[in-house]
Amino acid sequence: MALLEVKDLQVEFPLGRKTLQALYGIDFALDKGERLGIVGESGAGKSVAAFSILNLLSKPGRISGGEILFEGRDLSKLNDKEMRTIRGNRISMIFQDPMMTLNPVLTIGTQMVECLKAHRDISSAEAREIAISKLREVMIPSPENRMDSYPHELSGGMRQRVVIAIALLTDPSIIIADEPTTALDVTIQAEIMALMLELCKTNNVGLILITHDLAVVSQVTERIMVMYAGRVVEEGYTQEVIKNPRHPYTRGLLKALPQENRPGQRLNQIPGSMPALDAIPAGCAFNPRCEFADGDCVKAVPDLVGEQGHRAACVHVDRIPAFVGAGGAE
């Protein structure tokens, strides 16, 4: 059995008289030490999916169906106290903004020691030692001194390293990272991604990496899940999906990338934009933007079809032409 198994997860936001549905039953699984990427444009439901796992949905969001099985236990049924034994302990979360994790008025050392002592029965001295070793693991220079620093004394990249060190403190089995490098510069992004990849590999930690950047996902993850309007539209082995996308949305996203187009030429664009939750089209939600859409696409929501290593939810999956990037077009 997989370490984490999300089954038919549904999330909704009751707003006054109407209720908006944000996730329409999504399924995914993560094995021990596996790295999964979740991609899709803003509003697709990536963060909602990730936040549901740890019961971090912002009000008034609620899980309205499905199961989140972690080591066989359904996390969606846990009370707050039980959840605290999982969150930040067995499953850690890294946000885009490091200050979602860090307390501005406490030193790095104090925060790390408190975090450890909340989950382990150890002395402050022991906790301090572990904290320093984790700061060293994330390549923070002179970690002993950094223990006494406040978050604002560090650069954005260093702060995100500290957050990674905190995420690793309790030797979790899964780290969920929601756009961890989106706010950072490309050279710092490369350093952080290389670091996360290596740490996950050496410690056999599972990773759920949420990002809108297909290239980052392709560098770091083994499997990928593409979301659109609250559903999974394609999933499979990362390189397989990226080299041979089967869903028109995934294909369109890849074709829109500058690096997949001849320099100076118009980019292949997808018309329109992601629908709002109260305006999700019937049938395949992508149909108004899809170049392959016809009458069949509005009749029913297509199921994910294909083999376990690569599935796509498109009525016309057999008709979608092979993807040819810039390399092939030359």
Partner 1 sequence: MSDTGAVPLVEIENVEKRFGGAGGFLSSPQPVVKALNDVTLTVPKGEAFCLVGESGCGKSTLARTVIGLHPPSAGEIRYRGKRIDNLSTRERRPYNQKMQMIFQNPYASLNPRMTVLQTLEEPLRIHRPQMSDAEIRDKVHAVMRSVGNDPAWGERYPHEFSGGQRQRISIARALMLDPEFIVADEPISALDVSIQAQVLNVMMDAQKERDLTYLFITHDLSVVEHFGSQVAVMYLGTVCEQAETRKLFSMPRHPYTQALLSAIPKMDGTGVNHVKMTGEVPTAMDLPKGCVFHPRCPHAMERCCHEVPTLKQNGSSQTACFAVEEGRI
Ligand X SMILES: Nc1ncnc2c1ncn2[C@@H]1O[C@H](COP(=O)(O)OP(=O)(O)O)[C@@H](O)[C@H]1O
Which residues here bind partner 1, judged by CB under 8 A?
A: 41-42, 155, 157-158, 185-191, 193-194, 197, 212-216, 218-220, 238-239, 242, 252-253, 256-259, 261, 263-264, 266-271, 273-274
**Partner interacting with residue 13 (select from partner 1, Mg ion, ligand X, none; CB below 5-8 Å by kind):** ligand X
* 40 lies in the site for ligand X, by CB under 6 A: yes
| Residue 196, C-beta contacts closer than 8 angstroms, at least 6 positions apart | 164, 175, 177, 180, 207, 209, 220
| Residue 182, C-beta contacts closer than 8 angstroms, at least 6 positions apart | 96, 211, 212, 213
* Residue type present at position 311: R
* Residue type present at position 262: R
The residue (of 40 and 172) whose beta carbon lies closer to ligand X is 40
Alpha helices by DSSP H, listed for the chain, are 46-53, 80-86, 108-119, 124-137, 143-146, 156-168, 186-203, 214-220, 238-243, 248-256, 326-329
Dist. CA 209–CA 134, nearest whole Å: 21
Interface residues for ligand X in 63-102 (CB under 6 A)?
Answer: none
* 53 lies in the site for ligand X, by CB under 6 A: no
* 43 lies in the site for ligand X, by CB under 6 A: yes
**Partner interacting with residue 58 (select from Mg ion, partner 1, ligand X, none; CB below 5-8 Å by kind):** ligand X
Dist. CA 32–CA 3, nearest whole Å: 6
| String marking each residue 41-70 x if it binds Mg ion according to CB under 5 A | ------x-----------------------
**Which of 37, 45, 98, 109: binder of ligand X (CB under 6 A)?**
45
- Written as six digits, the tokens of 93 are 């979360």
Contact residues for ligand X, defined by CB under 6 A? 13, 22, 40, 42-48, 58, 61, 277
